[in-house]
Homo-oligomer: A and B are copies of this chain.
Amino acid sequence: MKIYKANILFTKEKNQFEVIENGYVAVEDGRVVRVGQSLAELNVGDAEVVDFGDSLLIPAMNDMHVHAPQYRNQGIAMDLELIPWLNNYTFPEEAKYCNEEYAERMYRRFVRDLWRFGTMRTVAFATIHEQGTRLLMNLFRQAGMGAFVGKVDMDRNCPDSLVQDVESAVRANEALIAEFNRPDDLVRPIITPRFIPSCTPQMLKACGELAKRYNLPVQSHLSENTGEIAWVRELEPQSKNYGDAYNRYGLFGQTPTIMAHCVWTDGEELELMKQNHVMVAHCPTSNLNLASGMAPVRRFLDEGMWVGLGSDISGGHDLSIFRMIVYAIQVSKMHYQKDRTKPFLTLPEAFWLATKSAGQFFGKVGSFEPGYEFDALVIDDSALNHDNYSLLHRLERFIYLGDDRHIVRRFCRGQEISEPEV
């Protein structure tokens, strides 16, 4: 057992921070045993106390939607909307990942930079390439950081170099599943049909069957852009809506499912998501950069939907989930500005989305309640703390102004994580 002492902040409930000034958290076998104001209150017997002084101790970040192979394109090519952006920038880049040397060089930087920004759990798209996907999974494993990594499945409406026939796709998935699908492992596979326009009905069917057969989670994209939605309506005329197209193939909550964006999700699609407990990965920077729109997150929360945040590199330009918290609040303020009956997101709500709400996808992750895996960041904000700020204001300032320089220690499942090699 280890006991950490610091200023502890986390969100047990959606709209309120737990704040324990100079508090203690006891950790054993990777999980929080107890958290409290004093050692006496912890009552866990003798154990080493690690004192983080005046630093803040908060749950680590979870990135619920990111494309690892688009890492090179981060922060460039913001001049197009979704479909031409995919064709002009994204697909050509992903095609390069058949080259393992290139894939390794880029993926190493990607994993290192997730580490820098305090993201200890990630749900990532790789590419169609089995070996590249394996490589990324092994890099997460070596780093000790948690991830669901998806080999991307796609067989239409993309360059020939990214088309893979259904049989080869299934074979590649099964090889990775055999190697990585162990329930307690930090790094696991996730079934990843790119999105409806990239997948024939045969591919979607095969993906649904894989998810069912191996009881694996699913990730994809949903209702991001109005042009995309119209296209899906043409491609899947028998489906009631975009979400229903996934649902018909067993890819919409039959196993735990994340759908990125949901900017335009409404009506029956929204009802189906609720009913099937499908998670929304809200990606506000991506939605702004690709001029997709602004997802109605307040509405999702009012409806009791499950929501996490995603950086969506390279539609998004920022890998920091702290920045996603800021943008999520800002986007919700633009909704509020049009309809003042629906309040904008508060800081604890957005923090909760990034930690406890998102973390549920990985098990008990994202909080410091007893039984939760200890995924944590130590924040030394002394450089930002130049007047008498409350702990809550210190956290708010770190989230709005801080960066990787202020994150001084990182833990995933109880282990301290050191900087991954590039």
Contacts and interface: CB of A to CB of B under 8 A. Distances in A.
A401 B334 contact: no
Contact of A78 (B74, B285, B329, B334): B329
A401 B318 contact: yes
A401 B288 contact: no
Contact of A74 (B109, B285, B344, B401): B401
A56 to B, nearest CB: 14
Contacts of A318: 400-401
Contacts of A387: 72, 106
A369 interface: no
Interface stretch (A16-24, A58-66, A289-297): A289-297
Interface residues of A, number: 40
A337 B292 contact: yes
A12 interface: no
Interface stretch (A178-186, A271-279, A389-397): A389-397
Nearest to A291: B333
Nearest to A399: B75
Contacts of A326: 317
A403 B403 contact: yes
Q: How many copies does the complex hold?
A: 2
A330 interface: yes
A322 to B, nearest CB: 11
Nearest to A422: B386
Interface in A361-420: 384, 386-387, 389, 393, 396-397, 399-401, 403
Contacts of A75: 384, 396-397, 399-401
A238 to B, nearest CB: 29
Contacts of A393: 76-77
B291 A344 contact: yes
Given A109-B386, A318-B401, A401-B317, A291 B336 contact: yes
A389 B337 contact: no
A334 B400 contact: no
Contact of A76 (B74, B77, B106, B397): B397
A400 B78 CA distance: 10
* Chain B CB within 10 Å, residue with most, of A79, A336, A400: A400
The 6 closest A-B pairs by CB, nearest first: A75-B400, A291-B333, A288-B330, A75-B397, A317-B400, A75-B401
